[in-house]
């Protein structure tokens, strides 16, 4: 159940600050929506449904059932719409094939010593299974799932640029982390998941400052373009190193604890880089580390 601020914590000033932050974070999302010709009416209906869903599930009163009237008071949405939306089945989020299975395959390919060379880099894999049982792409995929044909995943990975085939029919991993270069469906899945988690972490830190999670950034509003390019390349190097390190730790922990009882949690750690012309930076964008 979500912690609700007290009446003393809610004021016209705090509401204005929240709305200012939301206005800013929505701008690139509106740009995305307009690019794909998704107009305001569709988003208004989606937002209305989300208001009802979040209010019903996360703002409950102890030992009391949620009513249409209370949800109307919480959200400002008409009771008629509240009743309709409460009985509406939400669309299920489908995880693309090459994220659900492919993510596990890349994780093994980049962390398991059997799939690494002497320098710790993912080895180029023969496409088909080897007679001696050695590493191959077919064997890698089969070690993750018997329900997916290796050729199916390979074709998809070739399409979106995750792997490449050489003249000897060997499969090369093209990225140090599983980030499809071309796959539209995959990129949108990551957009939704990662932005959700980043915003949820920020919300947690505002609501629970005594138990804040790590969330930091470095911001400089006016650097030379050539210097920004140097920073971009270095950020990619450091970000990939960090993700690979944490991934290796998580794989080891998962293996050691798979038969141990205890509460389970999902975790997500990410890194991003953004730049824009200095003329477009907002006035409050001073140099900082936050």
Which of 78 and 161 is assigned the larger pLDDT? 78
Query: Across 145-149, 156-160, 204-208, which has the greatest mean pLDDT?
Result: 204-208
- DSSP symbol at 181: S
How many Å apart are CA 116 and CA 135, to the nearest integer?
A: 10
Give 288's strand partners: 219
* Segment 205-253, tens digit of pLDDT: 999 999 999 999 999 999 999 999 999 999 999 999 999 999 999 999 9
* Segment 13-65, tens digit of pLDDT: 888 999 999 999 999 999 999 888 788 888 999 999 999 999 999 999 888 88
Q: Is the pLDDT of residue 192 over 90?
A: yes
Alpha helices in 135-219 (DSSP H): 137-144, 150-160, 184-207
Element (H, E) at 125: strand 125-126
Cβ atoms within 10 Å of 30's Cβ, excluding its own: 13
Question: What pLDDT does residue 6 have?
Answer: 55
Give 218's strand partners: 289
Give 163's strand partners: 173
Phi then psi dihedrals of residue 151, to 5 deg: -65, -35
The answer to whether the beta carbons of residues 289 and 216 sit under 8 Å apart is yes
Q: Which two tokens stand for residue 262?
A: 């205890």
Structural domain boundaries in the chain: 1-92, 97-173
Among residues 265, 257, 251, the alpha carbon closest in space to that of 106 is found at 251
* Segment 86-137, tens digit of pLDDT: 988 777 666 666 667 877 888 889 888 889 998 888 999 999 988 888 899 9
């Amino acid at each position: 159940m979500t912690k609700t601020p007290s009446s003393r914590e809610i004021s016209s000033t705090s509401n204005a600050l929240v709305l200012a932050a939301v206005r800013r974070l929505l701008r690139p999302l509106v740009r995305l929506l307009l690019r794909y010709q998704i107009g305001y009416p569709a988003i208004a209906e989606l937002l209305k449904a989300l208001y009802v869903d979040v209010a019903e599930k996360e703002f409950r009163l102890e030992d009391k059932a949620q009513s249409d009237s209370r949800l109307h008071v919480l959200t400002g949405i008409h009771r008629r719409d509240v009743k309709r939306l409460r009985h509406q089945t939400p669309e299920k989020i489908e995880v693309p094939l090459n994220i659900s299975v492919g993510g596990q395959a890349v994780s093994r390919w980049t962390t398991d010593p059997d799939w690494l060379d002497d320098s710790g880099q993912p080895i180029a894999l023969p496409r088909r299974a080897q007679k001696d049982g050695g590493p191959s792409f077919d064997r890698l995929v089969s070690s993750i799932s018997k329900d997916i044909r290796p050729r199916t995943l390979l074709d998809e990975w070739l399409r979106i640029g995750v792997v490449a085939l050489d003249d000897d029919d060997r499969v090369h991993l093209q990225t140090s982390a599983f980030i499809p270069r071309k796959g539209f469906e995959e990129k949108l899945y990551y957009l939704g998941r990662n932005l959700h988690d980043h915003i949820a972490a920020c919300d947690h830190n505002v609501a629970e400052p005594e138990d804040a999670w790590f969330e930091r950034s470095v911001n400089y509003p006016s650097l030379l373009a050539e210097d920004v390019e140097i920073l971009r390349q270095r950020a990619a190097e450091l970000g990939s190193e960090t993700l690979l390190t944490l991934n290796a730790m998580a794989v080891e922990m998962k293996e050691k604890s798979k038969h141990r009882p205890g509460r389970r949690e999902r975790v997500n750690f990410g890194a991003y880089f953004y730049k824009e012309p200095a003329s477009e930076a907002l006035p409050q964008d001073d140099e900082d580390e936050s």
